[in-house]
Chains A and B, each alone.
Chain A
Amino acid sequence: MKSIIKYFADIFGGVRTLLVGMKITGKYFFSPGQIVTQQYPENRKKLVMFDRFKGELIMPHNENNEHKCTGCGICETNCPNGTIEVIPTRIETEDGKKKRILDTYVYRLGMCTFCALCVKTCPSEALAFGQDFEQAVFDRTQLTKILNKPGSTIMKGVE
C-alpha cells in the first residue's frame, strides 16, 4: 500500500515541479513587454555604442584636416601583434632644420586584438577608438587601413 502511495506522490510531485517552471515561462509568454531582444539590423539608426567601446583604431582629424601624430613610433613598439606600422619621412623646416614627420600610418585591423596599449601610450593623444563595429569585408586586404587622411598635416603646437 505504501509503495502505491509513493508511486502516485512521485507522479504528482514531479508534475508540480514542471508546473512551477512553466509558470515562469508562461508569465513571460503573456507579458511581451519584458522582452529584451534587440532587432539589430533594423535598429541601426538608433543604436548608440558606449564612449569607450573599442570598435576600430582611428586618428581624429580636425576641420582643417590636421592630426596630432608626430610619427614617433611609440605605438608601433608597444603593439604586441605588429598591427601598426608608422612610416615617417624627413622634411626641412623654414629655419633649415631637418624634422621627422608622419608620412603613412598603416593599421591592420585583422591583426588587432584591441588591447588599447597604443591609445594608452601615445604621448600626444593622437589615437582613439572609433565606435564602428561593422567591419566585415569581402577581401582581407581591405582590412589594412591608412589612418592619416590624404593631404593632412600635423596640428600646430604638437611636438
Chain B
Amino acid sequence: MTETTENYQLDQEEYIINMGPQHPSTHGVLRFEVSLKGEMVRNIRPHCGYIHRGIEKMCEKNTYQQIIHLTDRLDYLSAHSNNELVCLTVEEALEIEVPERVKYIRTIMAELNRIASHQLWWCSMGMDMGGLTCFFYGLRDREPILDIFEETCGGRLLLSYNCPGGVMYDLHPNFQKRVKDYIKYFRKKLPEYDALLSGNIIFLERTKGLGVLTLEDAISFGVTGPTGRASGFSCDIRKTQPYSAYSKVDFKEILYTEGDTFHRYKARIDEMWESMNIIEQLIDNIPEGDYAVKMKPIIKLPAGEYYKSVETARGELGLYLISDGNKSPYRFKLRSPNFINLGALASMVKDTKIADLVAISASLDLVIPDIDR
C-alpha cells in the first residue's frame, strides 16, 4: 500500500478501499483503489495487469496466419473486428485487393458481432444496477447470433474466421436466411429493452446526469467508441476512415452531447438499431465470387511501419506494426480502446457516491483482457 499512496496526500477523514480484483461488477480481474470520504469517491486509481498474457510479445514469435487466433483473445466480445484488423494491415502492406464478397462478409459479421457485444453489455449493465431480468432477456436474444456464427465460422465466441486475403470458409447456405430472420426477430425485441430498462424510473434516477464526461475531456483522454460519441466526440472509424464495405452503406453516426451515464447507455442502444440497418442494406447484395485470395504459405511483409485502425464495439482499435521483412512482425503494438477509456474513469467518478462508481464503470463497457493484453 505504501508505494501506491506515496504521491497522494490523504485528507484527515479520507480512507482507501480496494474494489476488486475479484468483484462481480468489474467484469474481470481489475482492481480499483478508491479513496473515499464518507460515501463520496475522492479519487480512484485503477491497477491493471492481473490478466496480462503478453499477447503482443507472443505475436512477435508467430507467423501472420497464427497471429489471427491470438487477437481473438484480446477483446473477446468483438473477436471478429480484432481478426479483421490484422488481416487489413497485412493486406494493406502487401497491396492486395480482396474480392468484394469478402468485404461484404466481413462487414456483416462485424456488425453482427457488434450487436452481440452490445447485448451482453446491456445484460451486465442491468445486472450491475440491480435488475437481474435484463441478464436473461439479453442472453436470449444473443443466442441466435451465436448460432449464426457457429454455423458459418465453427466458433461461437472466438471466431478465427478471417485469414490474410479473405475468410477461412465460404458462407453457409443458410446464412442469409438466418440473418434476415434474426433482424426481423430482433426489431421486435429491441423495444422490450427500452420498456424494461431505459424507461425504468429507478434506472433513470441512478444514471441521468451522473458521471459526466465533457467533450474537452473526451478528446484529451482520447476516449472513443460509444463512450466518446455520447460526449459529442465524432470518432467513428467506420465514417472517418471507411474500411471493408462501410463506404457503400448509408448509416448514421450516433452522437449525443450530454456525456452522462444515461446517454452512454442510449448511444449503445441506438447503435444496435444502426447495425441492423447496415446489415439489411448488405445482406441481399452479397456479390458472387471467391471468398479468399490465394496467399503464399509463408507471408513476409515488406520492411516498414504500418498503422491501421478499426471500430470495435468499444472504440478505435489500432494496430501499429513494424516489419523487418521476416515472416513474423518485429513489433506488434495495439491501441486498445478499453485501456484508454479506463483512463478517463477517474475524471468521471470524482465526487459521486461509491454505488454510482459501479454504474459509471458499467456504462464504459470495459473488457479486462483487452486492457491487460
Chain A interface (Cβ within 8 Å of chain B)? 13-14, 17-18, 20-21, 23-25, 36, 50-54, 78, 80, 113-117, 120-121, 129
Give the Cβ gap from B15 to chain A, nearest Cβ, in Å.
35
Decide if B151 is an interface residue (CB 8 Å cutoff): yes
Q: Which residues of B contact A80 (CB under 8 A)?
A: 62, 66, 69-70
Q: Which residues of A contact B200 (CB under 8 A)?
A: 17-18, 21
Decide if B192 is an interface residue (CB 8 Å cutoff): yes
Q: Which residues of A contact B199 (CB under 8 A)?
A: 17, 20-21
Given contacts A17-B199, A54-B155, A80-B62, 17 further A-B pairs with CB under 8 A are A17-B201, A20-B195, A20-B199, A21-B197, A21-B199, A36-B140, A36-B143, A50-B147, A52-B154, A52-B169, A53-B150, A78-B65, A80-B70, A116-B160, A117-B66, A117-B69, A121-B297
25 contacts between A and B (CB under 8 A): A14-B202, A17-B199, A17-B201, A18-B200, A18-B201, A18-B202, A21-B133, A21-B195, A21-B196, A21-B200, A23-B195, A24-B196, A36-B143, A51-B151, A52-B150, A52-B151, A52-B154, A53-B150, A113-B69, A113-B158, A114-B69, A114-B154, A114-B160, A115-B160, A120-B163
Size category of the B interface is 20 to 34
Give the Cβ gap from B130 to chain A, nearest Cβ, in Å.
13
Decide if B47 is an interface residue (CB 8 Å cutoff): no
Interface string of B182-197 (1 = CB under 8 A from A): 0000000000100111
- With most chain A CB atoms within 10 A of its CB, the pick from B147, B169, B201, B297 is B201
Q: Which of B159-188 contact A (CB under 8 A)?
A: 160, 163, 168-169, 172
A13 in complex: contacting residue of B68, B153, B201, CB < 8 Å: B201
Interface string of B69-95 (1 = CB under 8 A from A): 110000000000000000000000000
Decide if B152 is an interface residue (CB 8 Å cutoff): yes
Give the Cβ gap from B69 to chain A, nearest Cβ, in Å.
3
**Known A13-B201, A78-B65, A80-B70: A116·B168 in contact at CB below 8 Å:** yes
Q: Which residues of A contact B196 (CB under 8 A)?
A: 21, 24-25
Give the Cβ gap from B152 to chain A, nearest Cβ, in Å.
7
Determine whether the beta carbon of B65 is less than 8 Å from that of A117: yes
Q: Which residues of B contact A24 (CB under 8 A)?
A: 192, 195-196
Q: Which of B119-159 contact A (CB under 8 A)?
A: 133, 140, 143, 147, 150-155, 158
Determine whether the beta carbon of A52 is less than 8 Å from that of B160: no
**Known A17-B199, A25-B133: A115·B151 in contact at CB below 8 Å:** no
Q: Which residues of B contact A36 (CB under 8 A)?
A: 140, 143
Q: Which residues of A contact B62 (CB under 8 A)?
A: 80
CA A54 to CA B168, docked complex, whole Å: 13
Give the Cβ gap from A29 to chain B, nearest Cβ, in Å.
11
Determine whether the beta carbon of B154 is less than 8 Å from that of A54: yes
**Known A18-B201, A20-B195, A21-B200: A115·B66 in contact at CB below 8 Å:** yes
CA A24 to CA B134, docked complex, whole Å: 11
Q: Which residues of B contact A20 (CB under 8 A)?
A: 195, 199
- With most chain B CB atoms within 10 A of its CB, the pick from A18, A21, A24, A54 is A21
Give the Cβ gap from A21 to chain B, nearest Cβ, in Å.
5
**Known A17-B200, A20-B195, A116-B160: A52·B152 in contact at CB below 8 Å:** yes
Give the Cβ gap from B132 to chain A, nearest Cβ, in Å.
11
Give the Cβ gap from A92 to chain B, nearest Cβ, in Å.
31
Q: Which residues of A contact B66 (CB under 8 A)?
A: 78, 80, 115, 117
Give the Cβ gap from A137 to chain B, nearest Cβ, in Å.
22
CA A54 to CA B172, docked complex, whole Å: 15
CA A50 to CA B158, docked complex, whole Å: 16
Determine whether the beta carbon of A115 is less than 8 Å from that of B68: yes
B153 in complex: contacting residue of A21, A52, A78, A113, CB < 8 Å: A52
Query: Can you name the residue of chain A whose Cβ is closest to the Cβ of B194?
Result: A20
CA A21 to CA B195, docked complex, whole Å: 5
Determine whether the beta carbon of B195 is less than 8 Å from that of A53: no
